[in-house]
Amino acid sequence: MQAIVYRSFGEPDVLELAELPRPEPQAHEMLIRVRAAGVNPPDWKLRRTPYPPDYTEPPLVPGWDVSGVVEEVGVYVGRFKPGDEVFGMVNFPLYGGAYAEYVVARPRQFARKPAGVDHVRAAALPMPGLTAWQAFSDVAGVAPGQRVLVHAAAGGVGHLAVQLAKLRGAYVIGTARAAKHDFVRGLGADEVIDYTGVDFAAAVSGVDVVFDLVGKDYPARSLPVLRDGGAFIGAAGMSDADVAAYERAGLRHGVFVVEPDHAALAELGALVADGRLNPHVDRVFPLAGAAKAHTLIESGDFVGKLVLEI
């Protein structure tokens, strides 16, 4: 099969198209013929250096998000049969190997792809959609009338987070570059702040939930905008100093890591199928264009998602 491989950590040019043996599903797995693979920030972070630390060593096939067709099932697989169209997030945060013509996975990491959603849009959904869904449903419990601040609101996770928060009845504030404001407003955001020209901490207050997809100094800068009883969800990390500051302030806080969730995937797919949720795909690349996709995702010069079509 054809797959994208990198044999050393480095810049996007370490990604190469190669012929690899087709994986064989174990008794508890299924083999999926990949039609599209989503490109996410962990893909390029791992390509540059082990992420998380001591993750694994090259050669590696990047990626976790796929949409495709079940090719084979193991003897213990009961949810799907060959020919079923499925989408999901493979094994995150462990090895995925999604940038390939075939991938093996546990069936409960996948949901059925809705008939009215094409493979490209379905592949754009799993990691970012599950990240926002689990953060708002399982961790923060976002409720109608709450004020939610989404950092990096025009990105892969952020643009879905804005929409999902609105679907939960929240008042949504997003941070994004000025050139992306129309896009974020089009998602339903009630306010958009240009983080390059305005200190969001001076422009926002009384927030119930901060959903941070940036990291760096954003946890510290976000603390003053939270009301008493508010919550900070850091999908990009918090330092020990940040944790201590939130504890002193008596505010809920934590670093959130997404996990496979077939039930939530099915809910997300249904929202897309009936038009209530839009995974926006900025650009589609062929498998051989993975290096170009990585260059673009690192630049941030896009909105929504990038996808490889296979």
**Residue 246 belongs to what H/E stretch?**
helix 240-249
The token pair at 142 is 């976002």
* Cα 146 from Cα 113, distance rounded (Å): 32
* Cα 198 from Cα 225, distance rounded (Å): 14
Residue type, 58: P
If we measure between CA atoms, which residue out of 28, 32, 25, 26 comes closest to residue 82?
32
The token pair at 232 is 């900070």
**Residue 47 belongs to what H/E stretch?**
helix 41-48
34-54 pLDDT, tens digit per residue, is 999 999 999 999 999 877 766
If we measure between CA atoms, which residue out of 35, 65, 43, 45 comes closest to residue 279?
65
- Domain borders along the chain are 2-124+280-309, 128-255
Give the single-character DSSP code of 13. Answer: G
* Rounded mean pLDDT, 67-80: 91
Q: Is the pLDDT of residue 77 over 80?
A: no
String of DSSP letters for 174-212: EEE-GGGHHHHHHTT-SEEEETTTS-HHHH---EEEEEE
* Rounded mean pLDDT, 225-231: 96
Total residues found in the chain within this entry: 310
pTM (predicted TM-score): 0.95
Q: Is the pLDDT of residue 64 over 70?
A: yes
CB 277 within 8 A of CB 271: yes
Check: CATH 3.20.20.220 for 128-255? no
- Calculate what percentage of the chain has a pLDDT beyond 90: 91
Q: What confidence tier does 279 reach under pLDDT thresholds 50, 70, 90? A: very high
- What is the pLDDT, as a whole number, of residue 255? 87
* Cα 63 from Cα 72, distance rounded (Å): 21
137-168 pLDDT, tens digit per residue, is 988 999 999 999 999 999 999 999 999 999 99
> Across all residues in the chain, what is the average pLDDT?
95
95-120 pLDDT, tens digit per residue, is 999 999 999 999 999 999 999 999 99
The alpha carbons of the chain give a radius of gyration, in whole angstroms, of 19
* Cα 36 from Cα 255, distance rounded (Å): 29
2-124+280-309: CATH superfamily? Medium-chain alcohol dehydrogenases, catalytic domain (3.90.180.10)
Number of C-beta neighbours around residue 125 at 10 A? 30
